[in-house]
Every structure is written in C-alpha cells, then in structure tokens.
Amino acid sequence: MKIIMLGAPGAGKGTQAKMIAEQYKIPHISTGDIFRANIKEGTELGKEAKTYMDKGLLVPDELTVKILLDRVAKEDCKNGYVLDGFPRTIPQAEVLDKALTELGDKIDYAINVDVPDENIINRMSGRRACLSCGATYHIEHIPPKKEGVCDTCGSELVLRDDDKPETVKNRLNVYHEQTQPLIDFYTAKNVLKTVDGTVDMKDVFAAITEILDK
C-alpha cells in the first residue's frame, strides 16, 4: 500500500503516518525528518536545507526529489510506504507519478488531514520534537510522560526552530500557494480522501483505518 499524507504544516501528518506505519507494517518516510537528521549530522545537504527551512521556505525540488526517489527504491519499500511531507509541490508529485508509472505502479491513497489555519499556530507552538528518534508530542494535547523527555528514547524534546510563530505564518503561506494544489492533483487521480484533523488523534486514526481497510 502506497500512501501520501497531505495537509498544512502541523495538521498531524506525522502523528498519523507513524500510527499507519506501525499498523500496516510499512515504512514511514518523512522528508522533514531526513533533512533534520542531515542538519544534526552537519552534512552538506543539511547545511543547504537549513537555509530554506529556517525561513519557512521549501527546499528546492531538485534536492528533495532525489532524496525521496533514493529512499523509496530501498528494499524495505517493496510492499509500500507512507510518505509524510512529500510531495509538497506539483513538480514533486509529477516526478513521483512518473517514477511509479515506469514501474507499473501508483499511489493508492492521498490522505488529506484537514485542519483550519486558526488551529495551526497553537499546534506548532505546542509541538515538541525528539530530534533523535523523530517522535512528536504536544505540550497540551499529547504530552510526554515526563516533561521535556522523549517517551520512546529518553532524549531531550525541543521546540523546532521553524515552529516559532513568525516562521509558521510563512510556512502556512507556502502551503496554500505551493502544496494545496496537490488536493486537486490527487482528486483528479481518484485517490484523495479527506479526514477531519481537528478531532482527537485516535479518532483521526479511526477515520483513516476505515478508509484503508475498505
């Protein structure tokens, strides 16, 4: 099963993608996590990506597409995957579509996690991320057991640089201009499914499994 998560930054794509990956035993691939791991390791890719990410801008398609295509060509992706944060532009979606078509394959579901802009700033300012294992929490809605410490790996939780309110506004503008058109793109391919992302994360997941189990 090949799944794409769509939605504004902070809509809950990563939260749901992790649950999907666990339940359906497919890898969770987040381009944001790949960039953050490169930043942490100090690679050239990380240094370049950071200049865009810190401003709330998208990393250029040429860089992002190559990383994603290399990742989905790996053995563990044979039976499918859930993509979180890719594609984010129409050209990225077209490249992925072409690569899959050449393999006689296609995306099965594009799940749009729908959350209005009004809720997003709160979601992002309360988000705490573990840069070691990629786990995500929310200080009010989904708190870790011990404040500031990752339940999964015990590392320190941080407010991401790009989750500060001034950057979030830019990211929302970029989302509306460059990523939202993907809703029409995947509607035209008959794979778009929209779920209400404002309800409890367990209820969002129940709506998603109902779609995937049909």
State CA 31 to chain mean position distance.
Answer: 7
Residue 28 interaction partner, one of ligand AMP, ligand ADP, none, beta carbon < 5-8 Å per kind = none
Side-by-side strand order, sheet with 136-138: 136-138, 127-130, 157-158
9 counts as binding ligand AMP under rule CB under 6 A: yes
Cis bond upstream, residue 87 (ω within 30): yes
Q: The tokens of 108 are what?
A: 């099965």
DSSP-assigned letter for residue 86: -
Residue closer to ligand AMP, measured from CB, 98 or 214 = 98
Give the residue numbers annotated as catalytic, written as ranges: 13, 88, 127, 160, 171
User: What helix, strand, coil percent values describe the chain, rounded to 5?
Assistant: 50, 15, 35
Of these, 7, 15, 72, 88, which contacts ligand AMP (CB under 6 A)? 88
Instruction: State which residue, 142 or 191, has the beta carbon closest to ligand ADP.
Output: 142
Q: Which C-beta is closer to ligand AMP: that of 184 or that of 210?
A: 184
Compute how many residues bind ligand AMP; rule: CB under 6 A: 18
Question: What letter represents residue 26's amino acid?
Answer: I
128 close to 139: Cβ distance less than 8 angstroms: yes
Q: List contacts with ligand ADP (CB under 6 A).
A: 7, 9-15, 123, 126-127, 136-138, 141-142, 200-201, 204
Minimum CB separation of residue 119 from ligand AMP in Å reads: 16
Cα(141)–Cα(97) distance, rounded to whole angstroms?
36
Nearer to ligand ADP, 38 or 175 (CB): 175
Q: Which of 4, 5, 11, 32 binds ligand AMP (CB under 6 A)?
A: 32
Q: Give residues 140-199 in contact with ligand AMP (rule: CB under 6 A).
A: 162, 171
- Region from 79-87, 96-104, 135-143, 196-204 binding ligand AMP, contact rule CB under 6 A: 79-87
Report phi then psi at 33, rounded to 5: -65, -40
Q: Please, what is the minimum distance in Å from the beta carbon of residue 60 to ligand ADP?
A: 20
CA dist 100 and 153 (Å) reads 35
Residue 212 CB burial class (10 angstroms; 0-12, 13-18, ≥19)? middle
Give dist(CA 198, CA 158) in Å, integer: 23
64 binds ligand AMP (CB under 6 A): yes
Site residues, ligand AMP (CB under 6 A): 9, 30-32, 35, 52-53, 57-59, 64, 85-88, 92, 162, 171
